[in-house]
Structure 1
Amino acid sequence: MARIEREIIVIPPTITATTGYREHRQLRVASYSRVSTDMEEQLTSFHAQKSYYTELILKNPSWTMAGTYADEGISGASAEKRPDFMKMIRHCKKGKIDLIITKSISRFARNTLDSVGYVRKLKAMGVGVLFEKENINTMEENSEVILTILASLAQEELNSLSMNVKMGKRMAMKEGKVSFQYSRLYGYRKGFDGQPKVIPEQAEQVIRIYQMYLAGKTTRGIANHLNSNHIPFLKGKSWSEGTVRYILTNEKYCGDVILQKTYVTDPISKKVKQNNGELPKIFIKNNHEAIVNRELFDAVQGEHTRRSSKRKICSATVTENGKYSSLYALSELLICGHCGTPYRRVVWTKRNGDKQPVWRCINRIQHGTKYCTDSVTADEESLHRAIMGAILTSYTPDKVVPMALTKELRNAMRKQADSTIDIGQMERQIASLIEQVMEIIQGDKHYESLEEEFSDRERMKTLSDEAKVLQTVVDDYKALHQSEEDIATSLVAVEEYLASQPQDILEYNDSLVRQTIHTIKVMDVNRLTIYFRNGTIHEQIMAQKVRRLHKQ
């Protein structure tokens, strides 16, 4: 059989494959324009670009208008943040555009990755990009090499521009020039001289927020209170935990300014990071009129730190962090005088069905008499009566601190104590001892012998006793070394708070207790040791109503 000779036939194209353009109809051409700022001259250029490309497309008989896409006042660093650009890409995917015309590579994108990436995507869809200034058509051969080089130059131009802006801002910071975002700064408005001016009615709410926080309320509780009283936030918005926290932690409310608290990592991603020492900060003290005094502001920062750093005291807690609760003041103040563990509120049900709230050592609740054999269960009514009695003993009925007490405090403050004592070291040692005690308690291990269990109990008792001795030394030292200014501030704060309370303060009040008392130790069945915030220590008799104190 004769072999058939192989034949090669070339079939000519009907559509140019390299361009994807159709020969027998007009090209659907779209224009893209962008300006990066809202400055007047930039906006004039922006509108001029749109008009120019609209006219250019309509004058060309081979082109038909497929749309004008423009992003106004937006940076070209990231394509995803330009809505009209992304809209144009979606229309290209749907086959509505054949060619995109734009002024230059820098107007299309300043990010090299974006420029090359989107050009490749568009080319795969059969859509070309015409960069007028560089005279590059991406559907032509070897255009990508030139595009990559020019796009890299555009990105470097962006980096240089960003660096110039940063340097300008940092120089302005060093000169003390401050700009305020009044749209977020509740309580202030821009004055005629360009400086922030206090809005009196809003300033009253700011002070109330600070006072409520120190009185024990949470940020959520404060926000709920403001919303329920129909007090509007900026632009009529409602209050949230975030807005309350922003006011409580913003140094501008005491008249100060800290600049460069955050910084932008790079001009492409524009990711904002907290400045934790990577860059210098500028602190400007007494920059403008304050709404809250410095003492109140510092007190709130201290309370915020205390709440944030709370550690778990219950082995049932999943994380190491404890949670602050504003429900009961005694949850924060009441501790066992024998093992140092905080107390918890428990509701007992009597035989007749009545409910009785009592306070018990958490150590005792979880482990019985294993680690705390002498803790006292105190009924809430007796506790409240004893605490209010102590407050009334320390403060006169007309709510003014007695002169005798003030004189005694100032005399104690002036006494000289041993200056060689390292209180910081002692407090760290106390924390370490308590941590060791809690490790034994939370270990809850099963002992193989009575000797092993007895050894652990003895070790825990030794650690606890040592911590108590050190704490006594620390408390005495601090009481003697309060400065006259600190004592005066404490006394004034207590007097002001008491003056704002109803005339009859015999009734227990959580807010009053938080403002006046630092710690309450339950020493035995009928005795409390109360440490007041003004530095005094008071022994208070408590008439208990609970019968079964040690066996619960």
Structure 2
Amino acid sequence: MAKKVVQILEKKPLEELEGVQSKQKLRVCAYCRVSTDSEEQKESYANQLDHYTNLIQNNPNWEFVDIYADEGISGTSDKKRIQFKQMIEDAKAGKIDMILTKSISRFSRNTVVLLENARELKNLGIAIVFEKENINTLEASGEVLLTILSSIAQDESRNISENSRWGIVKGFRDGKVYCNTTRFLGYDKDENGELVINEKEAEIVKRIYREYLEGKSTQAIAKGLMADGIKTVAGNEKWWDSTVTGILTNEKYYGALLQQKTITVDYLTKKRVKNDGQATQYFIEENHEPIIPKEVFEQVQSEKKRRAKLKGYKEENAHRYSSKYPFSGKLVCMCCGNTLKRRIWNSNNISRKVVWQCKTYIAAGKQGCDAKAVDEAVLMEAFVRVFNRMKEDKDQFVQTMNRNIEKVLMKNADKTKIQKIDKKIEELKQEYKGLVQLNLKGEMDAEIYQEEQVRIGDQLEQLREQKHEIQVSKESKEQYKKRVQEIMNVFKQKEGLLEQFDDGIFNALVEKIEILSPTHFVFVLKNGVRVEEKI
């Protein structure tokens, strides 16, 4: 075997760096700093000034802006670094495209300050180039560095706020309520800080829940409140549908309290996001007197999911949810796949009839779809027959659903899989940190560093995708179990058989109806069970 020949490809000299902006000339400055007043440091300081002045002025692609220099000042804080602050202000003002500096420690020893400035300037398209580490903050390797340093910065920020944060968390654990009632419809606080029902406002909350389960949309509910002259908790006459949605999803209305719904994800920007399990939450059952029964609250959440699913079809097939009629958005033409629209025949005489027609037929006639109209009364009769048949044979129906639940649970090995993935992700993160530290110390070949960086990044991405797929699958299983329980509750609550169509029960049970003909239907329940019915 021939002797291996190793070719060393040196990093590009700083003179060849031109940033990422496609300008004729980059406006470049440099930042220099020494932290003591010793003669040796002063000489180093002067050398830095000469080095960067010559470097910038001798590069034909660069335009010299200035040399910003602070002498005899620590880099742990920028309060006394006048030149540093001036440089950042000039950069934000659009006077600088690139900042050169000898090393990370010369720029700032405070990782929080470093990250704040690097990220802010990056968003403006301004690069910081650290010569010693060969890092450009606008490049991918620079982002890796920021990611690693971010964890350090978070620790520093945590230390600053640890005392106050500890007090809040202790309050959570002790059941202390952190709840603002000034913009919370339905409740006030008594002299002890406990939540008490505001009876007048509570009636508005009850109305919103009732009307939603009756089939009204959040927009229709908001319009109704405004039409009746009812004001929001802030005293505004305008009701937004998002306000109604917030009321319909607030667990406090059934007496529970979830604390730490949002968390700070960036200790530098203080950005807060919804807490979807990233941090501990504190859920208190029966914390205060409820306005809405828990069962009603859960029915609303199920109905919201059903409507959201229908809205999801809108982009592809122009399906949409309408709150006016119980069959809106639930009838599917099996000839073309479109939904059906409610129409009235002979509206001005005694032969008046309500029917549902395929939207494709309405738009294009028989050439588009030859499905015939369906009588609304026939649909109602069909549902009554389906419900009563399931009710009469309830035991068999419940057994079928229980078997389906068992099949779902048999596949549930999700928790162990997620734990293994989390462990591997953490191992890769630690490996990543070690990699960066070796690179910063100059103990790793640049090419190997890049290869390892890509390898770890790819593995992390794959693991995160696997975890996401498992979580989606797990969530689907939980939703299925919940839907089955909701259907069983409907049968338990309804005594006897249906004598006429009940839109409340219909909405609670039926996901959609597949229309095969004007007298032949398949009712698809919310747990996926299909029930065929011919009139």
TM-score, length-normalised on structure 1? 0.47
Larger Rg: 1
